[in-house]
C-alpha cells in the first residue's frame, strides 16, 4: 500500500508539487495523468525514494520512507520494480546481464538459476533469445520490454512505469500497454503508470489521478474521468489547448 | 565582487564536504566487503594496465630531460657524476608520483567522470538504485580501490623508467662515467624517497577516483553537463594533487627524513 501525504517539492524557488495527497491500495492499477512538466515523473520518483520531498510523507506499507537514508531505502526498494522513460538499460552490459543484474549483485542464486530466470523474464516480455545482444542493438520498444523484464524479474510487489509509451509508434505502444496489463494480471502487482497518453490511461487505469497546478486535481475511475465535463479534464483528454495559454 | 567570492567559497566548501562524505561512504562500503570483484579487476586493468604506456613515456622523457638539465649545471662545477642522484631523488619523491598522478587524472579521472556522468543523465544511476544497489558500492568502491592499487605500481614504473632513461642519457649521450653515476645515485636515493613517492601516489589515486566519481555523480543535464563534469574532474584533480603534494612533501619529509 502506498500513501502520499501533503507532499511538497520544488526545484530552486519553483514549486512543482504543493500538497499532493493520495493513497494506492495493494493490487490496484493507478494511472497518473497530467500535462508535460506538471511533475508526474517527479511524483513517481518520490514513491521509490529517488527524490526527497521538501515536506510531507510517503508511506510504503505504513513505513515513512522520507527520513530514510540511501542504505535504509535499499530494503524498501526491493518491493519495487521501475521502468524508466528511456528504459535506462546499462549500456556496458548485455541484455542478460541487465535483466539478471539484481540477482548477480546479491549473489543469492547460482549462475544457472539466474540464466533460467532471465530466460523466463524475457519470454514474459515476448523477447526470447536476445540474451547476448547489447542495448544499442535494440529498438525503442525492445529496450522498454527489456527494462520491464529487468524490473519484474525478482517479482516485486509494486511496479512503477514512467511514460512507458512515450516515443513509440501507436502499434508498439499498444503492445507495451498489453504487456503492462499482462504483467499486472499474471504477477498480481500494484501498478502505477505515469503517462499523458490517453489511450494507455484508458486501457490501464482502474483509477486515474490527474495532476494539475501542483496538486491532484481529480481522482476517479477511468469511466468517470473520461465522461467528465470539467473543462480542465476535458481539455486535457481531448487535447485542446487553452487559447489564453498560447504564447506567440 | 564580494558576493561572487562568497559564492565561490561556499561552493568550494560544499564540494569538499560532499567529497569527504563520499569518501566516508566508500570506506564504509569497503569495510563491509560489498565489493564487486569482477568490476574491481576490470577497473584495475583499465586504470593500471591501460595507463602504462602514457606513464612510461612520461617517466622516461622526464628522466632524460632532468638528467640532461642537471648535467648542464653540474658540469660547470665538475659534479657530473652526481647527475643521476638528482634524477633518482627527484623521480622517486616528487616527479614520479606527481606526473603519474597528473597523467592518470587526465586519462582515468576524465573517463570516470564521463562514464558516471553519462550514466546519471541517462537515468542509469537511478536504475541502479531501484535495483536495490547503492551507487557508491557499485560505481565508486571498485574505481577507488583500483586506483589505490594501480597508482603506486604506475608511479613505481615511472620512477624506474625515469632513472633508467636518465642513466642512458648520462652514459651514452653525455659521456658520464657509468660506475660513479650509478654509485652516487644509490648513495643519495634512499628507501625513504621511494616510500614518500609510493605513499603520495596512493593518496593521489584516491583523489583522482573520488573527484572523478563525485563530478560524474553530480553532473548537470545533457551533453554539456557531462562535458563540464569531465573537464572539472581533470582540473580539480590536478590542482588538488599539486596542492596535496606540497603538504605531503613537508609532512612526510619531517616524518621520514628526520634524523
Question: SS3 for chain B, per residue?
Answer: CHHHHHHHHHHHHHHHHHHHHHHHHHHHHHHCCCCCHHHHHHHHHHHCHHHHHHHHHHHHHHHHHHHHHHHHHHHHHCCHHHHHHHHHHHHHHHHHHHHHHHHHHHHHHHHHHHHHHHHHHCCHHHHHHHCCCCHHHHHHHHHHHHHHHHHHHHHHHHHHHHHHHHHHHHHHHCCCCHHHHHHHHHHHCCHHHHHHHHHHHHHHHHHHHHHHHHHHHCCCCHHHHHHHHHHHHHHHHHHHHHHHHHHHHHHHHHHHHCC
The count of residues in chain A is: 248
Cut 0.80: pTM above it: yes
pLDDT at A248 (0 to 100) = 46
Provide the shortest C-alpha distance from residue A230 to chain B (in Å).
36
For residues A17-25, average pLDDT: 91
d(CA B71, CA B69): 5
Q: Examine the pLDDT at B21 and tell me if it is beyond 80.
A: yes
Q: Is the minimum CB–CB distance between B10 and chain A shorter than 8 Å?
A: no
Report the residue of B22, B27, B122, B127 to disrupt the A interface, i.e. the one with the largest count of A CBs within 10 Å. Answer: B127
Which one, of A74, A71, A10, lies nearest residue A39 by Cα? A10
| Contact: A74, B36; criterion CB under 8 Å | no
For residues B172-195, average pLDDT: 92
Q: Examine the pLDDT at B206 and tell me if it is beyond 90.
A: yes
State whether residue A78 is helix, strand or coil: coil
**What distances in angstroms separate CA B161 from CA B64, B157, B171, B205, one per listed residue?**
9, 6, 15, 20
d(CA A48, CA A39): 15
Q: Which residue of B has its CA nearest to A88?
A: B124
State whether residue A91 is helix, strand or coil: coil
Sheet holding A55-60, edge to edge: A14-24, A2-11, A55-60, A63-64
State whether residue A44 is helix, strand or coil: helix
Q: Examine the pLDDT at B259 and tell me if it is beyond 70.
A: no
Q: What is the mean pLDDT of chain B?
A: 92
Report percent pLDDT > 90 for chain A.
52
d(CA B193, CA B199): 10
Tens digits of per-residue pLDDT, B121-150? 999 999 999 998 999 999 999 999 999 999
For residues A47-63, average pLDDT: 93
Which ipTM value was assigned to this complex?
0.90
Provide the shortest C-alpha distance from residue A49 to chain B (in Å).
9
| Contact: A102, B131; criterion CB under 8 Å | yes
Tens digits of per-residue pLDDT, B78-99? 888 999 999 999 999 999 999 9
Q: Examine the pLDDT at A6 and tell me if it is beyond 60.
A: yes
State whether residue A15 is helix, strand or coil: strand
Q: Is the minimum CB–CB distance between B123 and chain A shorter than 8 Å?
A: yes
Tell me chain B's radius of gyration from C-alpha atoms: 21
| Contact: B129, A50; criterion CB under 8 Å | yes
Tens digits of per-residue pLDDT, A29-50? 999 999 888 889 999 999 999 9
pLDDT at B102 (0 to 100) = 96
Q: What is the mean pLDDT of chain A?
A: 89
Amino acid at each position: 500500500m502506498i500513501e502520499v501525504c501533503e507532499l511538497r517539492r520544488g526545484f530552486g524557488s519553483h514549486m512543482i508539487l504543493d500538497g499532493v495527497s493520495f493513497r494506492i491500495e495493494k493490487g490496484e492499477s493507478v494511472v497518473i495523468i497530467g500535462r508535460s512538466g506538471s511533475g508526474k515523473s517527479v511524483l513517481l520518483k518520490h514513491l521509490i525514494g529517488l527524490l526527497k520531498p521538501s515536506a510531507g510523507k510517503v508511506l510504503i506499507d505504513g513505513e515513512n520512507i522520507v527520513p530514510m537514508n540511501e542504505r535504509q531505502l535499499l530494503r524498501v526498494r526491493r518491493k519495487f520494480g521501475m521502468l524508466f522513460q528511456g528504459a535506462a538499460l546499462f549500456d556496458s552490459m548485455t541484455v542478460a546481464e541487465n535483466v539478471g543484474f539484481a540477482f548477480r549483485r546479491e549473489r543469492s542464486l547460482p549462475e544457472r538459476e539466474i540464466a533460467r530466470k532471465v530466460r523466463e523474464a524475457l519470454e514474459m516480455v515476448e523477447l526470447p533469445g536476445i540474451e547476448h545482444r547489447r542495448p544499442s542493438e535494440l529498438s525503442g520498444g525492445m529496450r522498454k520490454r527489456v527494462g520491464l523484464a529487468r524490473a519484474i524479474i525478482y517479482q516485486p510487489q509494486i511496479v512503477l512505469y514512467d511514460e512507458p509509451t512515450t516515443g513509440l509508434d501507436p502499434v508498439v505502444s499498444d503492445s507495451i500497454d498489453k504487456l503492462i496489463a499482462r504483467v499486472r494480471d499474471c504477477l498480481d502487482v500494484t501498478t502505477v503508470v505515469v503517462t499523458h497518453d490517453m489511450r494507455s490511461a484508458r486501457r490501464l487505469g482502474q483509477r486515474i489521478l490527474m495532476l494539475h497546478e501542483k496538486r491532484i486535481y481529480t481522482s476517479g475511475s477511468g469511466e468517470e474521468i473520461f465522461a467528465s465535463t470539467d473543462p480542465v479534464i476535458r481539455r486535457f483528454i481531448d487535447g485542446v489547448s487553452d487559447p489564453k495559454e498560447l504564447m506567440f | 565582487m564580494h558576493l561572487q567570492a562568497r559564492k565561490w567559497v561556499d561552493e568550494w566548501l560544499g564540494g569538499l564536504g560532499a567529497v569527504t562524505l563520499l569518501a566516508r561512504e566508500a570506506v564504509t562500503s569497503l569495510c563491509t566487503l560489498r565489493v564487486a570483484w569482477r568490476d574491481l579487476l576490470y577497473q584495475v586493468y583499465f586504470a593500471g594496465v591501460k595507463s602504462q604506456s602514457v606513464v612510461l613515456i612520461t617517466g622516461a622523457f622526464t628522466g632524460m630531460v632532468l638528467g640532461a638539465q642537471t648535467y648542464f649545471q653540474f658540469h660547470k662545477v665538475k659534479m657530473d657524476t652526481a647527475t643521476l642522484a638528482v634524477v633518482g631523488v627527484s623521480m622517486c619523491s616528487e616527479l614520479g608520483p606527481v606526473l603519474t598522478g597528473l597523467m592518470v587524472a587526465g586519462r582515468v579521472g576524465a573517463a570516470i567522470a564521463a562514464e558516471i556522468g553519462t550514466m546519471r543523465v541517462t537515468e542509469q544511476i537511478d536504475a541502479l538504485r531501484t535495483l536495490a544497489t547503492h551507487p557508491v558500492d557499485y560505481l565508486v568502491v571498485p574505481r577507488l580501490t583500483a586506483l589505490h592499487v594501480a597508482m603506486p605500481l604506475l608511479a613505481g614504473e615511472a620512477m624506474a623508467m625515469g632513472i633508467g632513461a636518465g642513466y642512458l642519457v648520462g652514459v651514452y649521450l653525455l659521456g658520464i662515467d657509468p660506475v660513479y653515476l650509478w654509485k652516487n645515485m644509490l648513495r643519495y636515493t634512499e628507501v625513504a624517497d621511494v616510500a614518500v613517492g609510493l605513499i603520495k601516489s596512493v593518496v593521489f589515486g584516491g583523489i583522482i577516483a573520488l573527484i572523478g566519481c563525485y563530478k560524474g555523480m553530480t553532473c548537470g543535464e545533457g551533453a554539456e553537463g557531462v562535458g563540464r563534469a569531465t573537464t572539472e574532474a581533470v582540473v580539480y584533480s590536478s590542482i588538488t594533487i599539486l596542492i596535496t603534494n606540497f603538504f605531503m612533501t613537508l609532512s612526510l619529509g619531517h616524518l621520514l627524513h628526520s634524523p
